[in-house]
Amino acid sequence: MSIKELNQETLNKQNNHWNTNYNERNEMFGKSPSVSAIKAVQIFNDDGVKHILELGSGQGRDTMFFAQNGIKVDALDYSEKGIAAITKNAQIAGLTGHINGKCHDVRMPLPFEDETFGACYSHMLFCMALKSVELENLSNDIWRVLKPGGLNIYTVRNTNDAHYGQGIHRGEDMYENNGFIVHFFSKEKIKHLSKGYKIIGIHDFEEGELPRKISSIIMKKL
C-alpha cells in the first residue's frame, strides 16, 4: 500500500475516531480557551482584525472565545459532531451572528473567495494526519483567502515532543498513539511552509499531559 493510500485510509478513520470521542466527551478539551487563542485575540485586536477563519475548530472552545471578544468566525472542522457542538453552543450563548460553522476536509480547496479574511487561526490542525504536500496546498490556499497583510497563526506539536518517533509510524513525521495520528513539525518544516509569508515569530511552549511540546507560528501574508 502506498503512503498516499495509507494516509487516505487513516485520515478517514480519524474522522470516525474524532466523532466517537466528541460523542463520548462533550467537552473533550474543556470550556476554557487555549493559551494560543488568548494570545491570538490580543494580536487580532492590535491588528484590527474583525473576521477570521478558524481551521480545526473542534468543539469550539476557541471559537466561542473569539466570538465573545467581538470577532466574527468562520469555523471549519472535519468532524460533524464538532461542528454540531459549535452550532448548539453558539445558539445557547446568543452568538449565532458571530459564528458560522461548517464541516470541511482541508485537503479540499477552502470554500471561500479570495482575500476574505483578516486572519486565519488553527490550533493543532496542521499536525493532523496530513502529508507534507497537503500541508503545502493548505498553506497556499490560506494565503489565497487572506487579505493583503493578513495573519496566519497556527500551532503544532514539534519534534521535541515525547510522542515523536513513538507508536505506529504512518509515513513522513506522522505517528499514531492511542488512536490519534499526529504530524510532528521541525523548524525546517515550519520554514518550508512559510512561502508567501513573512514569519513574525515562532514560540515554543508546553500544554496538557506529557506535557505536549508545541510551537506557535505567527506569519503575515506578503
Write out pLDDT tens, residues 3-50: 444 455 665 664 564 455 555 555 545 578 999 999 999 999 999 999
| The residue type at 24 | E
**The pLDDT value given to residue 178:** 85
pLDDT tens sequence across 172-194: 999 999 888 999 999 999 999 99
Instruction: Compare 11 and 221 and report the one with higher pLDDT.
Output: 221
- Specify the CATH number for the domain of residue 194: 3.40.50.150
Q: What is the C-alpha to C-alpha distance for residues 97 and 202, in angstroms, rounded to an integer?
A: 33
Pair 69, 93: CB distance under 8 Å: no
Tell me the three cell numbers of residue 199. 514569519
Residue 181 pairs in a beta bridge with 176
CA distance 150 to 50: 11
The per-residue pLDDT for 31 is 73
pLDDT, mean over the chain: 89
Q: Which three cell numbers stand for residue 157?
A: 506539536
pLDDT for the residue 102: 96
Domain containing 17 equals 3-221
Pull the grid cell for residue 125. Answer: 490542525
The per-residue pLDDT for 6 is 47
For the chain, how many structural domains are there in total?
A: 1
**Strand-by-strand arrangement of the 212-221 sheet:** 99-103, 72-77, 51-55, 117-123, 146-157, 212-221, 197-207
As a whole number of angstroms, the distance between CA 170 and CA 131 comes to 10
**E-assigned strand segments in 83-130:** 99-103, 117-123
Can you tell me the distance from the alpha carbon of 18 to that of 142, in angstroms, rounded to the nearest whole number?
Answer: 24
Residue of higher predicted confidence among 22 and 152:
152
Hey, which bits of 56-145 come out as E strands? 72-77, 99-103, 117-123
Q: Which pLDDT belongs to residue 4?
A: 44
